[in-house]
Chain A
Amino acid sequence: MTRKRILAGAVGAALAVAATGCSAGDDGGPVELTFWHGYTEADGDVLQGIVDDFNAAHDDVEIKTELKTWDSIDDTLLTALSAGEGPGIVAMPAERLPVYASRGAFAELDDFYAGAESNTADLNPGAVAMVEVEGAKYGVPTGFVPLAVYYNQALFDAAGVTAFPQTWDEWTATAKRLTVDEDGDGTPEQYGAVLPDHATVANGLWPSLFYANGGAVVDGDTAVIDSPENAATLEYWSRAIAGDRISPTGVDGIGADELFSGGKAAMTVGGPWMASIATENGIDYGIAALPAGPAAQAASAIGVSMAVTVDTSREEQEAAEEFFSFFLNEENSVAWSLGSGWPPLRTDIPADAVAENPVVASLTEIAGTGRPLLPGVVNSTDVLSAVDELTQQAVAGGDIDALLAAAQTEIQAALDE
């Protein structure tokens, strides 16, 4: 976490110096729009290709992309907006959109969604839920993928595991088989799984586990974290993690990625980028849906959304909307999905259409299990830090009932703000 934060800070500072605002094309030239996004890998090239195609097809609009890291977008957007130098379009982690939208940073897009030519009719409803704040839509999803288990095939083979677990009990049993403590010092050299207890990937691991046992974090404007279901979930998993040592404790999401890519953990819960990380580290990997809990098979989704800032003129907003529908047309949806490695955002695009990329195809099959994380919650910062505090202390052996009660109070306070 620290490393990433530092890098983000450094890049952010560099970009803040270099950042230039967009300007309206009132001088008769094409409407110019700046587009901030954080797709820094191969996905960025594909996105650039879509933008280039759009620019080529539209003489009156010129979209200029500006590549930043996701963290630096969050760090610089506020200052850019207050200086009136904000981008025209900005993409950001989906759970960060509501706080900006509620502060009036983004243009409302309900009319855009109402039009058939917007290509939004078949969008994954979970993805759309993440751009809704107080009943209005303020953005368009650019990514929505449920968390999945990425596992190390070689370690599975070595332990003689042939079938991927389908239920929680099978999951923990498999993880136990894959946990190796050769020198018997109580600290395994190889963990069956790595389940971070805070700052998990897209903050989604524990919400996923809560859903699978019939629990949740919030329901609309109400905190529902203090439930017997969640208590059972926390007990089950802290026993597995701290008791059976199937996973190290005190790890965060980035630490989990490192343990998996270092071959020290046989399973991790992550996003599509784990596929390329595994390949880079020479790990033969498999992807599977999170095993079902007692109540359901569910996974919290990682979402990315883009929005139009209110700094823009009417022409710029129209141009941005035109770009959104272009981005969401069938051809680009498929290209974007294949290029980004994320499943298609439109439910009318079948897994066959993206079959040439097996990672995307397998993620597309489980896309339906994805649930939006804290949709419409403005103060997601405090809600997520309450969840982190809860899970970290529960795994460390804290009193679960007391912790749940405390989290309930904190989350409700954050929702009431």
Chain B
Amino acid sequence: MHAPPTARRYRPPAPLGGRRRATGSPAGRNARAWAFLAPALIIIGLFVVWPMVSALRLSFMDASGFGREEFIGLENYLTVFTDPDVRDAVLNTLWYTVLFTPTAVIAALALALLLNSPRMPFRSFFRTALFVPFVVSFAVAAFAWSYLIDPQVGLLNHWLRGMGIQLGNVLEDPDLAMPAVVLVAVWKLFGFYFVIFLAGLQDIPASLYEAARMDGAGPWARLRSVTLPMLSNTMAFVLVFAMIAALQAFDQIYVMTGGGPYGHTQTLVMEIYESGFRKLDIGFASALSYVLLIATLLLSLVQFLFFGRKEKDLSS
């Protein structure tokens, strides 16, 4: 006679990787967690939070970073919104953003699509090569580029002359200086966006393409109806990053044009630098930094909301 099957007590499966019992009192566990977090917290606190708090305080002061300080309330912020130099810098920064963001993003996306194709020869080589500029220091890249486009000794000018094109002194040309500094930023930064797009592309399930192909979708239709919608999260991320990079444009401008010719490449961060370190008006520079920070936050938020909505449309 068989013993009736006893209902074994159900035991939930152990979570993957097993489960360690937390040891010690809750207070001790908390202390240990803090100890592990401490190095990061100290670094962030010291180099991010403290400067931000201190800049916020300075933004309400007439201060130069040393010597006497005087509380002046919102005066620095009022100046930010009335100063013609700031207005010019805002316009220049917007122009820079309009030139930089689409160029960098489209270049990165196009190359990512190209190098995602398994038929592309030397894929790994090209992928690495395209990422290399991102590793180079911005100042070094800017220095190299100013030599390349130098009207007297520049290689680029030499080649273009061979083709009958006279570029002239690009960095002293009020119309060309901005495109030139944008070009350097695109060259330097698009490799990063390219790698992110590549990762995004590899996350798209092949089955979607198969299904699309069975539905008779050509390459263009597959790009529009499968690739781009599936990339929209990646796209949002890249766009926000590219836009932040554009709003913070400084390094290559400082090296190549110093804001010139006559202020045509004077971006907001250049203006902040000049107010703070040339005119020693750290209070005003801090206020301008905060306005830029808030503007950047708002713009990023709008972009995320926009792309988040698109994502929702897609899933419904």
Tell me the minimal C-beta distance from A251 to chain B in angstroms.
Answer: 8
Q: Do the beta carbons of A198 and B260 come within 8 Å of each other?
A: yes
Question: Considering the complex, which residues of chain B in the window 146-199 have a beta carbon less than 8 Å from any beta carbon of chain A?
Answer: 146, 168-169, 171-173
Kindly state whether residue A154 has any CB partner on chain B within 8 Å.
no
Residue-wise interface mask of B (126-146) relative to A, using a CB-CB cutoff of 8 A (1 in contact, 0 not)? 000000000000010001001
Kindly state whether residue B200 has any CB partner on chain A within 8 Å.
no
Query: Which residues of B have CB within 8 Å of A82?
Result: 65-66
CA distance A398 to B58 in the complex (A): 41
- Give the B-binding residues of A (Cβ under 8 A): 1-3, 5-6, 9, 74-75, 78-79, 81-82, 86, 99-100, 103-105, 198-199, 250, 252, 310, 379, 381-382, 385, 388-389, 392-393, 413
- Give the A-binding residues of B (Cβ under 8 A): 64-68, 84-85, 139, 143, 146, 168-169, 171-173, 254-258, 260-263, 274, 276-280, 282
Q: Do the beta carbons of A381 and B263 come within 8 Å of each other?
A: no
Interchain residue pairs with CB less than 8 A apart (16): A2-B171, A5-B255, A9-B139, A9-B255, A74-B277, A74-B278, A75-B277, A78-B66, A78-B280, A103-B64, A104-B64, A105-B67, A250-B261, A252-B172, A381-B274, A388-B260
Q: Do the beta carbons of A250 and B172 come within 8 Å of each other?
A: yes
With beta carbons under 8 angstroms apart, the residue of A6, A198, A252 that contacts B139 is A6
CA distance A101 to B112 in the complex (A): 55
Given the interface pairs A9-B255, A198-B261, A389-B262, the reply to whether A78 lies near B279 with Cβ below 8 Å is no
Query: Which residues of B have CB within 8 Å of A100?
Result: 280
Q: Do the beta carbons of A392 and B261 come within 8 Å of each other?
A: yes
Q: Do the beta carbons of B66 and A385 come within 8 Å of each other?
A: no
* Number of CB contacts from chain A to chain B under 8 A: 77
CA distance A77 to B257 in the complex (A): 23
Q: Do the beta carbons of A99 and B280 come within 8 Å of each other?
A: yes
With beta carbons under 8 angstroms apart, the residue of A2, A105, A388 that contacts B256 is A2
A sample of 7 more A-B contacts (CB under 8 A), given A74-B278, A103-B66, is A3-B143, A78-B277, A103-B280, A198-B260, A250-B172, A250-B173, A385-B263
Given the interface pairs A2-B171, A250-B169, A389-B263, the reply to whether A81 lies near B65 with Cβ below 8 Å is yes
Chain B residue at minimum C-beta to C-beta distance from A250: B172
CA distance A247 to B182 in the complex (A): 30
Query: Which residues of B have CB within 8 Å of A9?
Result: 139, 254-255
Query: Which residues of B have CB within 8 Å of A385?
Result: 262-263
Query: Which residues of A have CB within 8 Å of B66?
Result: 78, 81-82, 86, 103-105
Query: Which residues of B have CB within 8 Å of A99?
Result: 278-280
Chain A residue at minimum C-beta to C-beta distance from B79: A417
Chain B CB within 10 Å — which of A6, A9, A393, A413 has the most? Answer: A6
Chain A residue at minimum C-beta to C-beta distance from B257: A2
Q: Do the beta carbons of B263 and A104 come within 8 Å of each other?
A: no
Tell me the minimal C-beta distance from A212 to chain B in angstroms.
Answer: 24
Given the interface pairs A2-B146, A103-B67, A104-B67, the reply to whether A379 lies near B279 with Cβ below 8 Å is yes
Chain B residue at minimum C-beta to C-beta distance from A2: B146
CA distance A3 to B66 in the complex (A): 31
Tell me the minimal C-beta distance from A104 to chain B in angstroms.
Answer: 4
Query: Which residues of A have CB within 8 Å of B277?
Result: 74-75, 78
CA distance A199 to B277 in the complex (A): 19
Q: Do the beta carbons of B258 and A5 come within 8 Å of each other?
A: yes
Query: Which residues of A have CB within 8 Å of B64?
Result: 78, 103-105
Query: Which residues of B have CB within 8 Å of A198?
Result: 260-262
CA distance A381 to B274 in the complex (A): 9
Q: Do the beta carbons of B278 and A381 come within 8 Å of each other?
A: yes
CA distance A99 to B172 in the complex (A): 28
Query: Which residues of A have CB within 8 Å of B282?
Result: 78
CA distance A99 to B254 in the complex (A): 21
CA distance A81 to B171 in the complex (A): 34
Chain B CB within 10 Å — which of A75, A79, A103, A199 has the most? Answer: A103
Query: Which residues of A have CB within 8 Å of B143?
Result: 2-3, 6
Tell me the minimal C-beta distance from B231 to chain A in angstroms.
Answer: 38
Chain B CB within 10 Å — which of A5, A100, A252 has the most? Answer: A5
Tell me the minimal C-beta distance from B307 to chain A in angstroms.
Answer: 38
With beta carbons under 8 angstroms apart, the residue of B65, B84, B173, B255 that contacts A2 is B255
CA distance A225 to B84 in the complex (A): 20
CA distance A78 to B85 in the complex (A): 23
Query: Which residues of B have CB within 8 Å of A81?
Result: 65-67
Chain B residue at minimum C-beta to C-beta distance from A1: B258
Query: Which residues of B have CB within 8 Å of A199?
Result: 260
Chain B residue at minimum C-beta to C-beta distance from A106: B67
Query: Which residues of B have CB within 8 Å of A104?
Result: 64, 66-68
Given the interface pairs A78-B64, A82-B66, A250-B169, the reply to whether A392 lies near B258 with Cβ below 8 Å is no
Q: Do the beta carbons of B255 and A6 come within 8 Å of each other?
A: yes
Query: Which residues of A have CB within 8 Å of B169?
Result: 250
Tell me the minimal C-beta distance from B261 to chain A in angstroms.
Answer: 6
CA distance A306 to B194 in the complex (A): 52
With beta carbons under 8 angstroms apart, the residue of A2, A310, A382 that contacts B67 is A310
CA distance A352 to B169 in the complex (A): 46
CA distance A9 to B279 in the complex (A): 18
Chain B CB within 10 Å — which of A105, A379, A385, A392 has the most? Answer: A385
Q: Which 5 residue pairs are nearest across A and B when measured between Cβ atoms?
A: A389-B262, A104-B67, A82-B65, A81-B66, A103-B64
CA distance A379 to B275 in the complex (A): 10
